[in-house]
Chains A and B, each alone.
Chain A
Amino acid sequence: MNAVGGTIPVLDPPAAKAPRAKVRASGAMATVLYPTIALALLLLFNLLFTAGFFHVEVRDGRLFGSLIDILNRGTPVLLLSLGMTLVIATGGIDLSVGAVMALAGAVAACLIARPEDSPLHVFNVSHSLPLILIIALSVALLAGLFNGILVATFKLQPIVATLILMVAGRGAAQLVTNGQIPTFQHPSFEFLGSGFLFGLPFPLILAVLIFLVILGFVRGSALGLLIEAVGNNPVAARLAGVQASGVKLVCYVISALLAGVAGLIATADIKAADVNNTGLYLELDAILAAAIGGTSLAGGRFSLVGAAVGALVIQTLTTTILARGIAPELTLVIKAAVVVALCLLQSSKFRELLVRIAIRRRA
């Protein structure tokens, strides 16, 4: 960024605007560069070695194929990673997103199926999809407020504060379903998980829309700047008048809301609320996506675009492994190896080391 800045000629003000905007873009590009290269390499590998990976066909006016599958399956992690990125940028972490997914899904499923033994049986709202969605997302919102208040007001360490809901959230979900796995039939709700719109899977369209809304909300307002200020130097941010507690609260609420949406998608997809498995370990994938996307876990600068690319990398990797028929016991090992390599590439220390080794070789 520095080097690029140095090449900017001093022009008269109107003309200077255009190249400056480019500098900003290239700065953002730098963090997104490595995950994008990784994604491209993964796709290239599949292009060369996995037959039919790029095959996309139209069936009944709907698109099918591995690529579509990656985008579709990747939506929950994509949604989680956006919220996770914001939380991480404030210097925190949200371990509860997987559990919040399960909780929101359980609430929606029980409102639809109304099993006798669920405490939600008393609510008769199964006829109204908007009410179901609003109630389920409100529960997610409450979870976000709970996390946010613990971290922002009571200054609990984020990892501990969100660990509470990571464990208790699934417990609450079990209370909601009374330990059962309620199944349901509700075509308009199922559309959320398996519907198609304009030939594309509906979850994908929804995720893209949400991504754009969040991006606009965070970068269009000054929230992004204040988040980065709080995460980068909390002491200086406080002295500059940034209200860290408010900023953090908003981030944890966004994170939980996005987890709620992801939970609804996952639940609608399987037409059941499997609270023990919905969103299980997805908080880890979300953290990984944020890290691969170039957001430092120490907080500060963040990239939502990077997080989205990171989520795609993780899903592409998973799909690739499945498509190649690699033995399931190797799957996690391979995934881990790729992730380690990516995270090392995001470390400027490691890149310096590589350069130094290369120079020594040549000498």
Chain B
Amino acid sequence: METALSARGLTKRFPGVLALDSVDFHARAGEVHALMGENGAGKSTLIKILTGVYSYDAGQMFLDGKAIQPVSPLHAQRLRIATVYQEVNLIPALSVAENIYLGRMPKRWGGFGGIDSRAMIRGAKNSLAQLDVHIDVTKPVQSFSVALQQMVAIARSLSMSAKVLILDEPTSSLDRPEVEQLFSTMRRLKENGLAIIFVTHFLDQVYAISDRITVLRNGRLVGEHLARDLPRLKLVSEMVGRDVAELKHGGAADRQSAPLSPFVEAKGLGRSGAVGPLDLSIGRGEIVGLAGLLGSGRTETARLLFAADKPDAGTITVDGRTQHLGNPRNAIALGFAFCPEDRKVAGILPDLSIRENIVVALQARRGWWRPIPLRKQREMAEKYIAALRIATNDAEKPIRLLSGGNQQKAILARWLAASPTLLILDEPTRGIDVGAKAEISALVEKLCAEGMSLLFISSELEEVAALCSRVIVLRDRQKVGELSGSDVTEKAILTKVAG
């Protein structure tokens, strides 16, 4: 098959991180090429380089054999590399036709006659007809569903005679029939000789549509495979970096698998577009893992349990009593605590000091009229800075000045200070060095021995297997299984994740 877009030895360095390390990537005309990888794999960096958003430090790019160097998204577009993002980049209030022709509207009489709307509407209709979409192109884009908006975005790329079409997580907000429609469009486009690069988290979809799969991990190319030759288990093990063949069978021997009295129980908990209805129970002092690939619904489950998002189905019982949590405040009142995955957006209060960041949850629970004395606050801050080895010489420093890993530890400190009964940790060890990981694990295990329950979410199956006495496995936003006792092994988890 003819190579449309190819990149060789692409390298991109960010301060302190090698985001892409000499990666080769080839998108072939008439093929759907899936780009797979977990967090920090380098997928989005690669896409951003291909579309001219980022510059690169080393490597070469070729389009139809000619060397290219896209310097901006607009430039990439002119080179006929088009991208459709998950968040559709159209202007909601403009009409479909105007969006398709944005920036290059057909003019009458050399521009003196204004925009030739009739030609524009005709052209827009034609472009959409190629995708078998027949809608009123004079209506504003916002009046259509996300799925149709994506079709409009694809039509826009087609009308600019794109050669390479990058679809960045296009299916995240689509329901099943819409995904089918998108796939049939993709099939038609590849038959017309378009090279399609497809980024998604859904394993089923990858196998449903892709001809070829490239896996990245930690900024490196792990492998390029024909989809039909790549078993799911191998794909997953490449993504998470654990080889099934090398994994031991046995789990930790001293695991107690005797049923504990359930502390928190969720039945049929779900939210459409986030995660399917699932059952989950956590005993007192138990460590339960949520395993699955990025985007499998792990974080969504945690957020539902903490009432950060409103579930549209299911019940939660705590100590046998049904609770309507409603918002995180009520969950916290029950002793829940949640360290979110995205600490920048949902974790830190960037301009406040480390001390203030640590005491804020406890303070919020006590109420503003019962301030924690400053001396007590300082003691707490000092205690957790020492216990979690937060690298700072001063608790009064704004937390944004800390490194990511240290910020993560400070957020953990925030919740430990509130002495929770159920701690939910979403990717707590990402960006933290190995020593600190062990410390956090030890600390958490000690707290669980004292009766705290823990819901542990991590992409690192090794950690999940080592820490958890029970593991709930999610795939494509559904619970696909549960392992407990001596069945909790990396291999078993991996097999379930791959399905």
Contacts and interface: CB of A to CB of B under 8 A. Distances in A.
Q: Does chain A bind chain B?
A: yes
A217 to B, nearest CB: 10
A232 B401 contact: no
A239 B396 contact: no
A107 interface: no
A301 B340 CA distance: 23
- Candidate in A8, A233, A237, A300 with the most chain B CB atoms within 10 angstroms: A233
Contact of A6 (B367, B394, B398): B394
A58 interface: no
A93 B338 CA distance: 31
Interface in A1-24: 1-2, 5-6, 8, 10, 17, 20, 23-24
A5 B351 contact: no
Interface string B369-403: 11110010010000000000000011011100100
A23 B350 CA distance: 19
B476 interface: no
A241 B329 contact: yes
A222 B371 contact: yes
Contacts of A241: 328-329, 332-333, 361, 364-365
Contact size class for B? 35 or more
Interface stretch (B6-14, B220-228, B268-276, B341-349): B341-349
Given A8-B393, A222-B372, A225-B360, A237 B366 contact: no
Contact of B397 (A2, A10, A17, A221): A2
B363 A300 contact: no
A24 B372 CA distance: 17
Interface string A199-241: 0000000000000000000001111011011001101111111
A238 B328 contact: yes
A340 B154 CA distance: 47
Contacts of A222: 363, 366-372
A126 B375 CA distance: 50
B284 to A, nearest CB: 22
A239 B371 contact: no
Nearest to A5: B394
A6 B371 CA distance: 28
Given A228-B352, A236-B346, A238-B328, A5 B397 contact: yes
B28 interface: no
A221 B308 CA distance: 27
B414 interface: yes
Contacts of A235: 345-346
B356 interface: yes
Nearest to B339: A239
A24 B396 contact: yes
A23 B394 contact: yes
A331 interface: no
A296 to B, nearest CB: 8
A235 B375 CA distance: 28
A228 B349 contact: yes
Contact of A240 (B360, B369, B378): B360
Interface string B279-315: 0000000000000000000000000001010000000
Given A232-B349, A236-B346, A226 B394 contact: no
Given A236-B346, A301-B351, A20 B396 contact: yes
B350 A232 contact: yes
A27 interface: yes
Contacts of A233: 348-350
A239 B393 contact: no
B347 A236 contact: yes
- Candidate in B327, B359, B368 with the most chain A CB atoms within 10 angstroms: B368
A139 interface: no
Contacts of B332: 241
A70 interface: no
A24 B338 CA distance: 29
Nearest to B379: A13
A239 B348 contact: no
A237 B370 CA distance: 18
A226 B393 contact: no
A39 interface: no
A242 B361 CA distance: 7
7 contacts: A10-B393, A226-B363, A229-B360, A239-B338, A239-B340, A241-B365, A242-B364
Interface of B: 306, 308, 327-329, 332-333, 338, 340, 345-352, 356, 359-361, 363-372, 375, 378, 393-394, 396-398, 401, 414
Nearest 3 A/B pairs, CB to CB = A5-B394, A241-B332, A222-B371
Given A1-B396, A2-B401, 5 more contacts: A5-B397, A221-B371, A223-B368, A233-B349, A236-B347
